[in-house]
Amino acid sequence: MSAKQYSEDHRVVYYETNVTGTVGIGRLVDLMMLASEDQSKQLGVTNEKIAKRGLGWVVTQHIIDITRLPQADDVITLSTIAKSYNRFFCYRDFKVEDQHGNELVKMHSVFVLMDRQKRKIVRLPVDIITPYEAEYTKRIERLKTPQSVENISGQKNYRVRFMDIDANHHVNNVHYFDWMLDALSSDFLLNHRLTKMNISYRQEVYYGDQITSEVELDEKNLTTKHLITTGDQQNCLAECQWEKIK
Amino acid sequence: MSAKQYSEDHRVVYYETNVTGTVGIGRLVDLMMLASEDQSKQLGVTNEKIAKRGLGWVVTQHIIDITRLPQADDVITLSTIAKSYNRFFCYRDFKVEDQHGNELVKMHSVFVLMDRQKRKIVRLPVDIITPYEAEYTKRIERLKTPQSVENISGQKNYRVRFMDIDANHHVNNVHYFDWMLDALSSDFLLNHRLTKMNISYRQEVYYGDQITSEVELDEKNLTTKHLITTGDQQNCLAECQWEKIK
């Protein structure tokens, strides 16, 4: 039995793009997450149903490979599959293709189910996971954890705004990505292209929090390390690989 | 001859909503602007074509009436019509309806064409305006100008971020609205519903600018005045009418 795949199309519009003419990676992750929500709806295991049991899906890590970021007027196909799961973790694969079937972006993500009251991870209930027809495995994937920033090349501070919180009462994904990348100079962002990103979520941030975004740039290897903190708390870590735009 | 109307549908998704469960007004304005861009494309007067002549459309004012802001999973219809124009101004009407034809939002907007190099307003060229079949009128509309903030009830500072700039090299609409409304307390925003907004753009803000958002709240009449400044420069003004949520 192989897991169920789900696909949907999306027309990229101007306000989803930034000054580079492409969709920001944070917005693209939003779009991929939307595909997974839509699959859950189709299979009858909606967020609302899960919320009624006091539970909620939480992403702990995304590993992203970027061939090309879509541009305005691209009609992209977002595909997702809940590939496998073990007692606590569900592994999902995502794919973004352009209208000619060229692969633009791939993403591998780790989901857990959280008891919203106790803020603790729970064992995946059979009736919630079965509809996806994901493969059960005892194996826990050992994914590379992003390393923390050691030598700070840049730092910016942000305050979590009212509009940053979505209807699920979480700071929307896109803001973590924006805080991380905005800590780099515009000169760097205009002249380099993101090719890989490994992002790991540790601890949620909340409305009104003062957050710090630190970045370490290795100019030789064109890699960056990113860290989001609130006081002593590490909230989110990432490593990125870049390529110079000719 | 009556002006050409254009409509398109849009499915509202979770990441377009905020903690109130509805689409933020800034995002909704983005969606309406998208409808006007799509009409321009359909009529063969694209932004690219206009940019080649060194020109660009700029909005100077929006007057918005809100019956209800759409929620996630609403399929809304965005309609627009370039109603009339005079030598320098083009007046557009917008409408947002839900899937049952209920009117959710109305907007009346003023557009001008800007010489991008000289940063000056130009006379509307016949070949650019004709395709919309808008009515020519000598009359210049006397729209109410939002009054400036006098007694500051709240103030927050923002820095224009890299991701705030869209592919047209402008700070995207949504950010002006977010800066203005975020200056209000979350308590106010959670317990009141925006019913009217009159927003007037004076001077663009740019990447890296430090902006200040001031708000004056009249608790008796449930009105707010908003002002965005960079140093001594007034960039954007707005007046809002609110209603208490029961």
What is the mean predicted confidence (pLDDT) over A120-145? 94
* Predicted local distance difference test score (pLDDT) of residue B174: 84
Paired sense of beta strands A135-136 and A192-201, if any: unpaired
By the 8 A CB rule, do A180 and B162 touch?
Answer: no
**Which pLDDT value is given to residue A169?**
78
Instruction: Work out the minimum CA distance from A150 to partner chain B, whole angstroms.
Output: 24
Q: What are the tokens at A197?
A: 């990103």
What is the distance between the alpha carbons of residues A93 and A84, in angstroms, rounded to a whole number?
10
Chain A residues at the B interface, defined by Cβ less than 8 Å, are 13-15, 17-21, 24, 26, 30, 33-34, 37, 72, 156, 159, 161-163, 165-169, 172-174, 178, 181-182, 184, 186, 189, 207-208
Question: What is the pLDDT at residue B70?
Answer: 97
Q: Which two tokens stand for residue B236?
A: 């954007």
Angle at the Cα of A110 from the Cα atoms of A107 and A112, rounded to 5 degrees: 150
N- to C-terminal Cα separation, chain B: 46
Both tokens of residue A35?
């595909």
What share of chain A has pLDDT > 70, as a percent?
100
Share of chain B above pLDDT 70, in %: 100
pLDDT beneath 50: ranges in chain B: none
Only one residue has tokens 């933020």, namely: B24
Distance from CA of B163 to the nearest CA of A (A): 6
In sequence order, what E strands does chain B have? 5-11, 55-66, 75-85, 90-97, 103-115, 120-121, 135-136, 154-159, 192-201, 210-218, 223-230, 233-244
A-chain CB neighbours of B162 within 8 Å are: 18-19, 181-182, 184, 186, 189
Min Cα distance B17 → chain A (Å) is 6
Lookup: tokens for B7: 């409509």
Confidence of residue A69 (pLDDT cuts 50, 70, 90): very high
Beta-strand pair B75-85/B135-136? parallel
Task: Report how far residue B121's alpha carbon sits from residue B73's, in angstroms, rounded to the nearest whole number.
Answer: 40
- Mean pLDDT for A65-94 is 96
Inter-chain touch A15–B166, beta carbons under 8 Å: yes
B20, B165, B178 member nearest A19 (Cβ): B165
- Residue A116 has a pLDDT of 87
Per-residue pLDDT, averaged over A116-140, amounts to: 93
Domains of chain B, CATH where assigned? 5-136 (3.10.129.10), 154-244 (3.10.129.10)
What residues of B are in the A interface, CB distance below 8 Å?
13-15, 17-21, 24, 26, 30, 33-34, 37, 72, 156, 159, 161-163, 165-169, 172-174, 178, 181-182, 184, 186, 189, 207-208
User: A-chain residues within 8 Å CB-CB of B210?
Assistant: none
CB distance B189–A21 less than 8 Å? no
In this model, does residue A1 exceed pLDDT 80?
no
pLDDT at residue A246 above 90? no
So what's the pLDDT on residue B11?
A: 95
| pLDDT tens string A74-83 | 999 999 999 9
pLDDT value for B1: 55
Are residues A163 and B33, on separate chains, in Cβ contact within 8 Å? no
> Looking at residue A70, what is its pLDDT?
97
Q: Is B163's CB within 8 Å of A178's CB?
A: yes
The residue of A23, A30, A163 whose CB has the most chain B CBs within 10 angstroms, and thus the best one to mutate to test that interface, is A163
Task: Residue A184: list chain B partners with CB under 8 A.
Answer: 162
Residue of B nearest to A176 (CA): B163
Best mutation target, A9, A16, A19, A69, to test chain B (most B CBs within 10 A): A19
pLDDT tens readout for residues A190-227: 999 999 999 999 998 999 999 999 999 999 999 999 99
- Tokens 């064992």 identify what position? A123
Which residues partner with A212 through β-bridges? A157, A229
Q: What is the pLDDT of residues A175-191, one digit of tens each?
A: 999 999 999 999 999 99
